[in-house]
Amino acid sequence: MGIVNDTASKTSDFNFNHFGDIIIHENDIPDQFIDKLTGNNDYDKNERAIGFSFSPKFLSELMYSGFYITSDVMFRDIPIINNKNKRLTYIPLINIWKKQTVLFFNNIHISNSINRIKKEYELRVNYNFINVINNIRKYHGRIWITSPLKKTLIHLNKNKYKAKAVSFEVYKDGELIAGEIGIKTGNIYTSYTGYHTEPSSGSVQIALMLEYLRDHNYNFCNLGTDDSKKNNAYKLKFGAEYIDRTDFIKLWREGRN
């Protein structure tokens, strides 16, 4: 059974492990990393790197630079060690996709059916973040919001960093029935994932959230990416569009400060 070391190979630009994954360390500067990634034709195809720390400061700095953080149990049949010889179970996945899905608020489209029923619901922001993230993990499983990432997101919700984890919650008759978590970075909101318990309540939550972001002068809503028609259809129905990574980074740096 082999051992994967996090500095298995190195080029002048990046560190790689033996599987060809780019590695970002805590002492790397995320903005410079993105500039190298997008400015080099040899690496421009890459959309993901891996890290070896769930430190709130480390992940906050990555989020501030435009990375979308998920996590996973990696190399399940292979022990992984870092340079301190501590065995790792989970690692953060550090994403910066070539095609980004964004929504500009002058393009919001809310269907007549959602407009008719949304007055029955109440939107609350950051009212019960922990309940929302727990409900999301029950709804979707614990595939990418792993235990260490959950802990970091809760920390980013409660404390002051460059990136803040927030929740958008929908209540009906005082009962929490839908919600999502995401990241606030300056005047940009990045949607991560959500859940709902009643038909149409998820769409109501998105509609009320988008109106809130618009009314509070956010620049745009970052919806990540997903090339599958099934998973991206609802985003496009609300008015989202695709932009390439280079344009996304320019817009991001204008809006994050």
Question: Which domains are seen in the chain, by residue range?
Answer: 4-97 (no CATH), 101-255 (3.40.630.70)
> Could you give the residue ranges of the DSSP H alpha helices within 87-218?
112-117, 129-140, 147-158, 201-215
Query: Is 0.95 topped by the overall pTM?
Result: no
pLDDT at 227: 60
- 8 close to 75: Cβ distance less than 8 angstroms: no
pLDDT at 109: 97
pLDDT at 4: 40
Q: What SS3 state is found at 15?
A: strand
Q: What SS3 state is found at 37?
A: helix
∠251-14-57 over CA atoms, to 5°? 60
Q: Return phi, psi of residue 107, to 5°.
A: -110, 10
pLDDT at 17: 78
User: Going residue by residue through the chain (257 aa), what tens digit of pLDDT does each one get?
Assistant: 233 444 444 445 778 877 778 899 999 999 998 988 877 666 667 888 999 899 999 999 999 999 999 998 865 444 455 555 555 578 999 999 999 999 999 999 999 999 999 999 999 999 999 999 999 999 988 778 999 999 999 999 999 999 999 999 999 999 999 999 999 999 999 999 999 999 999 999 999 999 999 999 999 999 988 665 566 788 899 999 999 999 999 999 999 98
The β-bridge relationship of strands 4-5 and 80-81 is parallel
> Could you give the residue ranges of the DSSP H alpha helices within 141-197?
147-158
> Could you give the residue ranges of the DSSP H alpha helices within the chain?
30-38, 56-64, 112-117, 129-140, 147-158, 201-215, 229-237, 245-255
For 177, residues 6+ apart whose C-beta sits below 8 A from its C-beta are 121, 170, 171, 196, 197, 198, 201
pLDDT at 226: 64
pLDDT at 43: 64
